[in-house]
Amino acid sequence: MKNNRQYFLEKYFDYLKYQKNYSDYTILNYKNDILEYFHYLDKENLDFSDIIYSDIRFYLIYLKEEKKDNNASINRKLSALRSFYKYLVNEGIVKNNIFSLLSGPKRSRKLPRYFEYNELEELFLISDKKTPVGQRDLLLLEMLYATGVRVGELVHIKVCDINLSEKTILILGKGNKERYVTYGEYCEDILKLYLSDGRNALNKENSDYLFFNQNGGHLTERGVRYILNQLIQKTSIHKKISPHMIRHSFATHLLNEGCDLLTVQKLLGHESIKATQIYTHVTTDRLKEVYYHSFPRAKKER
């Protein structure tokens, strides 16, 4: 069975990419975690299709004591292996998902990092709207913030997915699930400019996609991250930036302005409300502000 291991692994990655619609970035993380696990199995002379509960308990000890992984890393690796073995069970390659029996270490709750609105405003002023690249970069920023889409969803937007009259975009999310997101007037203005000007200059291969790199090819997730890093270096903001951080900002700002959690869940494309609830922890300051402003006995008369 060990000789067939690589074959099953490649089939699994195809499944993640074409059926689950996972991004290349997510698949790469899964691949690294599973290959590390295979390396451990080889060292211990174990077959991936014939492990028992005690084997994975020792693997957990290995991650904690030898690799010195933190709880978040261990949970991520166990999640990747749990998903992989679930696939193997469904394909009839193994009988049981042994990782479903194992709970990872308790993880500390990490609040999402986000930008204040004034920081985003500074970012929006960096790009030169007179150039095709500047129009693209500004639209990229505006669309990430206006819609809260994932970077993998952003780079796969095609012009035909956009309804200009309704200001909506059809998004293909995780698990090939479709949803509509909306955008406002700031995003609308730069979108119309880019479609009529910058995109025509960048689109050298007559492609249907919305975003392109400077060579005219389809813009990748890695390309988006590179652009964002270049933009923030031109500002006074001393924070790291990522597409997901802008997504966090989108959700946080909506909740701070009174949007309900279920609506934010739908806009983000979260399957479970639990994934959205973490944003409620970053709105405490806003709740305090409303309380002291609104409650009659919050403050004494001076």
Spatial contact of 86 and 97, defined as CB atoms under 8 Å apart: yes
Spatial contact of 243 and 149, defined as CB atoms under 8 Å apart: no
Spatial contact of 173 and 179, defined as CB atoms under 8 Å apart: yes
Candidate list 17, 76, 244, 286, residue with the active-site label? 244
Cα separation, 90 vs 97, in Å, equals 10
Candidate list 22, 37, 183, 279, residue with the active-site label? 279
CA-wise closest residue to 111 among 250, 243, 244, 281? 281
Spatial contact of 40 and 86, defined as CB atoms under 8 Å apart: no
Q: Tell me the one-letter amino acid at 300.
A: K
87: annotated active-site residue: no
Candidate list 86, 113, 179, 270, residue with the active-site label? 270
Candidate list 174, 179, 218, 225, residue with the active-site label? 174
238: annotated active-site residue: no
247: annotated active-site residue: yes
CA-wise closest residue to 120 among 227, 249, 255, 280? 249
Cα separation, 131 vs 40, in Å, equals 51
Spatial contact of 65 and 20, defined as CB atoms under 8 Å apart: no
279: annotated active-site residue: yes
Q: Tell me the one-letter amino acid at 259.
A: C
Cα separation, 117 vs 289, in Å, equals 17
Cα separation, 4 vs 252, in Å, equals 46
Computed on alpha carbons and rounded to an integer, the radius of gyration of the chain in Å comes to: 23
Sign (positive or negative) of CA dihedral 86, 90, 96, 101? positive
150: annotated active-site residue: yes
Candidate list 77, 156, 199, 247, residue with the active-site label? 247
209: annotated active-site residue: no
Active site residues: 150, 174, 244, 247, 270, 279
